[in-house]
Chain A
Amino acid sequence: MTVAAPNYELVQQDGLETSLLEVSMGPHHPSTHGVFRMDVKLDGETVVDLKPVFGYLHRNHEKLAENMSYLASMPFTDRLDYFNSMTNNWAYALAAEQLVEIEIPERAEYLRVIMSELTRLVNHVSLVGFFVNDLGALGTPLLYAFREREKILDLFEQASGARMMCNYFRFGGLRCDVPDGWLDRTREVVDRFPKFLDEYEKLLCENEIILSRTQGVGNLSKELAISAGITGPMLRASGVNYDIRKVDNYGIYERFKFRVPYSEGDVGDCYDRFMVRMLEMRESIGILRQALDGIENGPIMGNAGKVFKPQKSEAYGRVEAPKGELGFYLVADGTTQPYRYRVRPPSFINLTVLQDMCIGQQVADAVIILGSIDIVLGEVDR
């Protein structure tokens, strides 16, 4: 049920004719976070109608994956949401592990949690930077975020060999163990992170301009958010307490004590989405600390053989990726290639409500609403 543009009547005065300004924002627009296009109809500065246009980065990832072995799709999942390759890997591994019975060793589970929470820090901290960049802050918060992100990416590089395209998870464990001293370095980074967050919050959270720019902009009601399948921080910003880490308890999340921040009111505006992410980072640091305390030595690969050949079955594995629910749906037909391989991309489905949130707002708001949804076009277009 699309919300059509409200019946907009053009004001005609003194015989002067007026018409709407149609602007194609994107695919080269600086703040569409990639190659995304919004066909916007404007009355002055007010958005009267908005149509998202997808597909500029479409490469039919699903078809590619259906024509190669299960393992060979793993590096391609890195390229979906190229900010969070670790959680993408996990979601895929989780789905595949449901197809066959694989025991995952303890150490691998801990490392998975550590990697995924580090990824969440990376994503949220840079998303906030990008968001404030969309507000017009000339990149200062973004570069602070990237400064901290570098430290985490170094950790990823040490563990997996690559900074962004990690390709680290395997069915039944991880590709390799982390090098000596890695956990200490991680602890150092994690211990330093709250100090940075304090500074970041001081820079952003009380700024009058950010407050007045983001509050009351892009409201998303609870009912619409649930119905539209919004997930992740965006859903929690609309006041729904739903976190797949809590609901599904995948991996070993039930062992950690953490809280899920969600908004109090029913507003669900850009400010809520921004703040929920800021608060979530603190919780992630808590999880990381517990995981770093709890991790022990041991094997990192389960009993999975090299040949991954599941029986005829299907599985849907979902994780709480930083952007929302990332699901992988696999249908196995008994061969070494998946018969059907489907990605449930959170940022694609979160875009469902873009139109509803933008209509009636200003052009500048449309940009920050898009920024607050947190999309990565590698995932939207697949």
Chain B
Amino acid sequence: MSVLGSGIFKGMAVTLKNFVGSYFDKERLTTNEYAWQANDKLPERAGDYPKEEAEQLSDTTTVTQYSRNFPMLLHDAGEPMDTVRCVACQICERECPPQCIYIEKSTEKKERSGNKAQFYPATFDIDVSVCMSCQICVEVCPFDAIVMNSQFELSTPSRFGELLLRRDDLLKSNDYYYKIHPEEASARDKRIADEKAAKEAKKKAAEAAKKKAAEAKSKSEAEAKAKEEAEAASKPTEPSDTPPAESTATPSTEPPATPTTEPEKEGSAE
């Protein structure tokens, strides 16, 4: 038999505890007025930026390095258009669920600094008023050319003025990517490096085989190459081409496989 009104009094005790607790207990008052205050308040949410840096970054960062917002195009160190990774293969355009990407491929190939000539996007627009931040473009991109930005302060008075991000707005350097998504960026670069190393090794093996074959017969050279191509085709999830914008990449001796045809085979849309 409970005391009359005991349930109400218990509830009032809880609210009183919370009222008082909100002044003393960080567990109870979890509000951060500004993103960079997080560092002072909740250790697990912050950890990402020291306060001073966060204040400088406040226009470009959200609260955590894990958050994603809208896509951006990556380029490596140097002039953006010289080192842009995108080769205008248009997979992302086809796969984008809300159809917010619009790409026009350049008519001719362009020399990239320290790399072979590639197509480049003459137009690359993302209508962020339509984009739903799903990250599918990032997943399907075989060149690691498109990643998610975390900039969120995009409010503007006009829709097609500023909410339609043009190519030059979207181009961001790899350093910036490292700054906003440190973990993800290093993991991605590690993967790219691994893939490259694996390719190099394979190429070396192929070259060795070629040498051997050349010694034996000049005809077998073509076979080795065919074998290599077959190997590359059998693994459709892995892009067989080195990301062309890898600025440190040594010029490949391999005849360039046109990167636009390969991914189109992989493309799943039609």
Known: A165-B133, A206-B6, A211-B7. A306 touches B148 (CB 8 A): no
Max chain B Cβ within 10 angstroms of own Cβ: one of A69, A159, A202, A306: A306
A289 at interface (Cβ–Cβ under 8 A)? no
The segment from A27-35, A72-80, A363-371 found at the interface with B is: A72-80
Known: A147-B30, A306-B237. A157 touches B64 (CB 8 A): yes
B95 at interface (Cβ–Cβ under 8 A)? yes
Q: Select which of B7, B134, B236, B269 is within 8 A of A207 by beta carbon.
A: B7
The answer to whether A204 touches B95 (Cβ under 8 A) is: no
A175 at interface (Cβ–Cβ under 8 A)? yes
B268 at interface (Cβ–Cβ under 8 A)? yes
Q: Who on chain B is nearest to A199 by CB?
A: B14
The answer to whether A162 touches B14 (Cβ under 8 A) is: no
Q: Report chain B residues within 8 Å CB of A188.
A: 44
Known: A165-B132, A305-B236. A209 touches B8 (CB 8 A): yes
**Docked complex: B211-270 residues within 8 A CB-CB of A:** 236-237, 266-270
Q: Report chain B residues within 8 Å CB of A211.
A: 7
A2 to B139, CA, bound (A): 48
The answer to whether B8 touches A207 (Cβ under 8 A) is: yes
Q: Select which of A69, A157, A162, A209 is within 8 A of B269 by beta carbon.
A: A69
Q: Report chain A residues within 8 Å CB of B15.
A: 140, 203
Q: Report chain B residues within 8 Å CB of A79.
A: 132
Q: Report chain B residues within 8 Å CB of A150.
A: 30
The answer to whether A154 touches B64 (Cβ under 8 A) is: yes
Max chain A Cβ within 10 angstroms of own Cβ: one of B5, B11, B148: B11
Q: How far is the CB of A142 from chain B (nearest CB, A)?
A: 13
Q: Report chain A residues within 8 Å CB of B269.
A: 69, 336
**Contact indicator per residue, chain A 195-214, by CB within 8 Å of chain B (1) or not (0):** 00001001110111111000
A308 at interface (Cβ–Cβ under 8 A)? yes
**Contact indicator per residue, chain B 43-66, by CB within 8 Å of chain A (1) or not (0):** 011000000000000000000101
Q: Report chain B residues within 8 Å CB of A71.
A: 95, 136, 268
Known: A203-B14, A336-B270. A161 touches B236 (CB 8 A): no
A298 at interface (Cβ–Cβ under 8 A)? no
**Contact indicator per residue, chain B 141-161, by CB within 8 Å of chain A (1) or not (0):** 000000010000000000000
A116 to B97, CA, bound (A): 24
A144 at interface (Cβ–Cβ under 8 A)? yes
Q: How far is the CB of A166 from chain B (nearest CB, A)?
A: 10
B39 at interface (Cβ–Cβ under 8 A)? no
The answer to whether B14 touches A202 (Cβ under 8 A) is: yes
Q: Report chain B residues within 8 Å CB of A151.
A: 30
The answer to whether A208 touches B5 (Cβ under 8 A) is: yes
The answer to whether B6 touches A147 (Cβ under 8 A) is: no
A15 at interface (Cβ–Cβ under 8 A)? no
Q: Report chain A residues within 8 Å CB of B95.
A: 69, 71-72
A179 at interface (Cβ–Cβ under 8 A)? yes
Q: Report chain B residues within 8 Å CB of A163.
A: 67
A209 to B7, CA, bound (A): 9
A350 at interface (Cβ–Cβ under 8 A)? no
The answer to whether B135 touches A167 (Cβ under 8 A) is: yes
Q: Select which of A167, A206, A305, A307 is within 8 A of B10 by beta carbon.
A: A206
A158 at interface (Cβ–Cβ under 8 A)? yes
Q: Select which of B2, B10, B44 is within 8 A of A202 by beta carbon.
A: B10
Q: Who on chain A is nearest to B66 by CB?
A: A158
A-B complex: 3 closest residue pairs judged by Cβ atoms: A75-B134, A206-B7, A161-B68
Interchain Cβ contacts under 8 Å between A and B, 24 examples: A69-B268, A71-B95, A73-B97, A75-B132, A144-B18, A157-B66, A161-B67, A165-B133, A167-B136, A175-B135, A180-B183, A199-B17, A202-B10, A203-B11, A204-B11, A208-B5, A211-B7, A306-B140, A306-B268, A307-B267, A308-B268, A336-B268, A336-B269, A336-B270
Chain B residues within 8 Å of A, Cβ to Cβ: 2, 5-8, 10-11, 13-15, 17-18, 27-28, 30, 44-45, 64, 66-68, 95-97, 132-136, 139-140, 148, 183, 236-237, 266-270
